[in-house]
Amino acid sequence: MTTIEGNLQAQRQRLAQACQQFGRDVTAVTLLAVSKTFGAQAVVEAMAAGQQAFGENYIQEGVDKIVALRASHPEATVQWHCIGPIQSNKTRLVAEHFDWVQSLDRIKIAQRLSEQRPGHLAPLQVCLQVNVDGGANKSGVTPEALPALAAAVAQLPGLRLRGLMCIPEPAPDFDSQRALFLRCTALFDALRQQQGAQVDTLSMGMSDDLEAAVAAGATMVRVGRGVFGARPAKA
């Protein structure tokens, strides 16, 4: 068993325990393995252990990985999620290579992604990133501006609105973490009422606060360090 395989087993068990503890169906919560800064071989090891959904924060690094792995493993059924900020000059790369975008927070970027999504591909699945706690250093649309952005994104032909993503500031304990996530859950519930059943994805929680996110209703948790280990130091 590789280290990554063992880590994945441990994180799946952790997720299953959290679901049991908080009355959730474990099949309703997806584990997204965040592979940023790790090479293609690490992803191959995770794929061999049954992992099919991967998140990338850095667009060019992610695209290089996607292209290499689609060439070396054309039979693999892998989903690639862009979970980092998107600048205007990177939208074409995202539209042409990723399956999901979880970090959408501006209509300009949404319009470019829709226009640049190749016609032979399915619509880009998108979550709107919402800044639930007003953190000054966090990306995300404000809760007040969310309904208008969601309504506009839902009309774009190259995109399919699937839900919300949030990255609140770190909180010191479980109750504080859960309280922050519940803000996003309330916005998610309101969005479902606005847009209907196609809104089915609430992406929140990472290695340090997975349990609180599950307790608050997350349908996807994003785990990097817990799967791949400590990230390599930057040169």
In tens digits, the chain (235 residues) has pLDDT values of 789 999 999 999 999 999 999 999 999 999 999 999 999 999 999 999 999 999 999 999 999 999 999 999 999 999 999 999 999 999 999 999 999 999 999 999 999 999 999 999 999 999 999 999 887 657 899 999 999 999 999 999 999 999 999 999 999 999 999 999 999 999 999 999 999 999 999 999 999 999 999 999 999 999 999 999 988 665 4
Using a 10 angstrom Cβ sphere, with 0-12 exposed, 13-18 middle and 19 or more buried, the burial of residue 223 is buried
* Domain ranges (residues) in the chain: 29-227
Using a 10 angstrom Cβ sphere, with 0-12 exposed, 13-18 middle and 19 or more buried, the burial of residue 123 is middle
Two tokens at 180?
Answer: 């922050």
Is this prediction's pTM over 0.85?
A: yes
Two tokens at 195?
Answer: 């847009």
How far is residue 64's CA from residue 39's CA, in Å, rounded to a whole number? 10
CATH node for 29-227: 3.20.20.10
Taking a C-beta distance cutoff of 8 angstroms, is the pair 87, 108 a contact?
no
Give CA torsion, residues 78, 222, 214, 144, to 10 deg. Answer: -110
